[in-house]
Each structure stands twice: as structure tokens, then as C-alpha cells.
Amino acid sequence: MRHLLETSLRIPQARDDVFRFFSDASNLERITPPRLRFRILSDVPIEMMVGTRIEYRLSLLRLPFRWTSEISEWQPPIRFVDRQLRGPYRSWQHTHEFSDDGDGTLMRDRVEYELPLWPLGEIARPLVGSELRRIFEFRSASIRNLLGADARAAHAHPGAASDARGGASS
């Protein structure tokens, strides 16, 4: 079963500058909660383009694992998409979109994911959904600190077929 998490954040910087920040994979460590023990294993700097693969190590719910993602779309400074090739989810696709918003940038994230071991994996959906919301809340707070984003504009919201508790869609 597919699940959905969507967030948006207004950042008071030019879209080119915001996109440049997110296209530097090393910034992932800066916006990921320390408790996840996130580390990039690939050699840095990483040249981002369609087909770029990035290897990580992290812990989720105290379970350590490796994650390999691939950039499947790359459209500077508008959007990029990374998808999991190897990791804890059956599937994971994260779309990052950037649009002009007055004198700043509106950044939108859309994460579509499937849990492993269906249907048994669905038992963990409330826990996984809650953990993902906490990760993205930390991410938004870190971005606000690093890029001066407007705290009032940071929010998670459901998509058309999701719920606000982690985004279940049918």
C-alpha cells in the first residue's frame, strides 16, 4: 500500500540559492536528526545529475541499515527526485520542488513510500508515519535555522489520498 507525506516551507532566499543548498548532498547531514546517525558513505563532493547514486548509513527506529538512492529527475532550479534503490522501504520516492514566492522560495516535499513485507509491514505504519513526521519537523527547523525560513510557513499536510498522521493512501 502506498503512503504519502507532503510538506512545504517558505524560505526567504532566492530559488537558485535554495536549490544550490539542497543539491549539495553533504547538507543532508546538517538537516537530519542526530539520533538517526546519518552518514554519507559516497565520496564527496557528489556531482548531482540524473543517475547519480548516493550511499548512506543511518539508523531508523534504532535499526542500523544502509540506503542507496538515485537521482531520477534533475531540473535545476525547479525540482529533483530521488528514489531508494536499496533501503528499509519497499519503495521510496522523494520529490523536491522549488518555486518563486515573492522575494523568497516555496519548497515542497512529496514522499511516496511503501513499507516492506506487505501486508505485515502495514502494522508498523502508525509508528513509521509518526517517525517520518518527526524527521521532517526536525528538517524544517534545521532549514529555518540555516536558511532563515519563515516558521509560520512550515507545515506538513496531507495529499488528496492521504491522512495527516503519516499519509496513508490507497
Catalogue all structural domains in the chain, each as residue range(s) with its CATH number.
Answer: 2-157 (3.30.530.20)
The cell numbers describing 123, all together, are 502494522
- Looking at residue 22, what is its pLDDT? 95
Question: Closest Cα partner for 9 from 99, 148, 143, 106?
Answer: 106
Q: How far apart are CA 169 and CA 21, in angstroms?
A: 31
What's the pTM value of the predicted model, to 2 decimals? 0.85
pLDDT in tens, the chain (170 residues): 999 999 999 999 999 999 999 999 999 999 999 999 999 999 999 999 999 999 999 997 678 999 999 999 999 999 999 999 999 999 999 999 999 999 999 999 999 999 998 888 888 888 888 999 999 999 999 999 999 865 444 444 443 333 333 333 33
- Looking at residue 123, what is its pLDDT? 82
| 125, 166 contact by CB (below 8 A) | yes
